Copies of this chain bind each other. A is one copy, B any other.
Amino acid sequence: MGTYEQNAINKVKRGANRASYDEAVVHEILDDAFLCHLAYLWEGRPVVIPTAYGREGETIYIHGAVANRMVNGLIDAGQASMTVTHLDGLVLARSGFHHSANYRSVSVFGKVKKLERTEEKTHALKVIMDHMLPGRWEECRAPSVKELKGTLVVAIEIEFATAKIRKGGPIDDEEDYASPYWAGQIPMTLESHPAISDELLQKPIPIPDSVINHLNQ
């Protein structure tokens, strides 16, 4: 795999040593999450919305209801900016100034295309679901014609992207290392807990593989 073009919009200036334009690094961070924050313009004002996504190659899929303002806003704009962030911990320095967080984030800039054909839409919805929980698509009822008609699906073709990663302990100014202040890290992880079967299951049904595989990761 290659690297994304660096240009005025995605080239990191502050903390350039934490930036990567490597496709493999970007894909790994994208694949580790299923919730992104997308911005769209509403009457000239940027609005940020959390939403689910799936990735396949250089395509990100997003969906929403037909009247969804965010998805319609993306279609109108023809382009999108989305960000995925994993918070990996707090970095506590001797100086207030050098406090930070450990994180892995990706910002993607891409062209938006509305999917029209039933097969394209169905495929994109499968990618979104399997991105969240691999294999889940085969374990539930497929979308009906009515549901598909009521769903807007868009493909964002990645034009360029930037990963930014900070890890490790605090980095203080040289003269602060002898100070009496404690410094260190608090690691953080997003944890999944045992599945809770729906109370309304009408008979005992075993927890499916997608869920078991996720919890065994």
Report the minimal beta-carbon distance from A75 to chain B, rounded to whole angstroms.
15
**Which residues 56-91 of A sit at the B interface, judged by CB distance below 8 A?**
64-65, 67-69, 79, 81-83, 85, 87, 89-90
Interface string of A30-74 (1 = CB under 8 A from B): 000001011111110111111010000000000011011100000
**A206 contacts B by Cβ under 8 Å:** yes
Do the beta carbons of A47 and B52 come within 8 Å of each other? no
Question: Contacts A182-B207, A198-B170 given: A190-B188 contact, CB under 8 Å?
Answer: yes
- CB under 8 Å from chain B, chain A span 80-122: 81-83, 85, 87, 89-90, 92-97, 99, 101, 103, 105, 107, 109
Q: State whether B192 touches A107 (Cβ < 8 A).
A: no
Across the interface, do B42 and A48 meet the contact criterion of CB distance under 8 Å? Answer: no
Within 8 A of B (CB), among A159-217: 169-170, 176-202, 205-208, 211, 214-215
| Chain multiplicity (copies) | 2
Q: Count residues of A near B (Cβ-Cβ below 8 Å).
A: 94
- Do A192 and B186 touch (CB < 8 A)? yes
Contact call B140/A79, Cβ cutoff below 8 A: no
Residue of B nearest to A208 (CB): B182
Q: Which of A67, A89, A97, A178 has the most C-beta atoms of chain B within 10 angstroms of its own C-beta?
A: A97
Contacts of A186 in B (CB 8 A): 192-193, 195-196, 211, 214-215
Interface assignment of A9: CB less than 8 Å from any CB of chain B: yes
- Taking each of A38, A109, A169, A182, which has the highest tally of chain B beta carbons within 10 Å of its own beta carbon? A182
- Known contacts A50-B103, A81-B45, A87-B35, A201 near B189 by CB under 8 Å: no
